[in-house]
Amino acid sequence: MKRVLALSMLMLLLAACGPTQTIVITAPPSPFQGAAPAQAQALTQPPARNNPSSTATPQSPTGNSRSSMSTPQSNEAVGVPNFDHIILIVLENQDYSVAMDGSSMPHLVDLAQKNVLLTDYFAASHPSLPNYLALMSGSTQGVASDCMNCFVNAQNLANEIQSSGRTWKAYLESMPSPCFLGNADPYAQKHNPLLYFDSIRLDASVCDASIVPMTQLDADLKANKLPDFSFIMPNLCDSGHDCKAGTADHWLNGMVSKLQDSSALGKNSLIILTFDEAKASDKTSCCGLGSGGGHVATVLISPLAKPGFQDNTPYSHYSLLKTILTAWDLPSLGKTSQSTVQPIVAPWTRK
């Protein structure tokens, strides 16, 4: 009987101690328990570069080449969409740091924060004209100045667009008349690249219909006849070439608003905002292209792009041209055939 009583007491004692021992053995207190919530929040936050509210003035990179930059900060690239309309607007001669300074160009900074900012984008050369030729043909065509009569016989973006059955038009602010040759201050021929190609300039019917004063843009928007590709170039003051960056910023805000308010733009459009070059002393480049035209800001506005997205992939004017060619399945032009020149794919949400 004593044995039974003793055994019963021992079992009761073990039962009372059992749960405490189990907790100690199977679930010891974590030394990180107090820090866990903050740590989880940090891990789920997007990187600061991709958060448009993290900074109003993205920092400019240093060095002469960005060929070692990382790949896009997204693994969700879906290729380049087949846009209904692509509009390229070029401003003049501003460093990335100036363009992304909220006190200098607040409207552009606002557009960059709400849309897509390419943070590591580089012009092709110095001065202006070689950059415009690069944007339109994938090559500076051996031009190294803002020459007036250095016309070239080379395939270009307008040729490829027209051959595909699509339409294009260049709208030049303050241009006196369609296909006008020469300067007429504040209009400058050096900012009208398609005029330099023989296949366009020497075909009067094409040139007169497609290289026109910017006043034609309002009529085309009103008539819902916006071409598939539009090149929009402000004059020497509104581009920021002869006037302050704030003047260009004000003009740009009005132009983007006008385009977005028009039903002619459609829902599958792309508006590209970029600069021809940085300051003359900035010869940085990327993608193994050697000396370039410096670090400039480029903003992409599209319903098919991720809002508030920053892409730190190294790009150049050639990358931008390759993106347009890829979107419409057009043949390569110049340096766009090189594997080191990649199209812009990270920002898009769908084809």
pTM of the full structure: 0.80
pLDDT at position 62 is 35
Q: Residue 179 region, left (φ>0) first, then alpha (ψ -120 to 50), else beta? A: left
Average pLDDT over residues 163-174: 98
Closest among 315, 241, 240, 243 to 272, alpha carbons compared:
315
Looking at 76-90, 151-165, 244-258, which range is the least confident one?
76-90
| pLDDT tens by residue, 127-159 | 999 999 999 999 999 999 999 999 999 999 999
Tell me phi and psi for residue 285, to 5 degrees.
Answer: -155, -170
Secondary structure (3-state) at 181: coil
pLDDT band at 350 (very low <50, low <70, confident <90, very high): confident
Q: What percent of the chain has pLDDT over 70?
A: 77
User: For residue 135, what are the CA distances in angstroms to 19, 98, 195?
Assistant: 74, 22, 13
List of E strands, the chain: 85-91, 116-122, 168-172, 211-213, 229-233, 269-275, 295-301, 309-311, 315-316
| pLDDT tens by residue, 63-88 | 333 433 333 344 345 699 999 999 99
Q: What is the mean pLDDT of the chain?
A: 84
Higher pLDDT, 17 or 316: 316
269-275 and 295-301 as β-strands: parallel, antiparallel, unpaired? antiparallel
Task: Domains for the chain: give ranges and CATH numbers.
Answer: 68-337 (3.40.720.10)
pLDDT at position 45 is 30
| pLDDT tens by residue, 278-297 | 999 999 999 988 999 999 99
Reading the block at residue 211, the tokens are 């290289």
Contact 86, 269 (CB under 8 A): yes
pLDDT at position 340 is 94
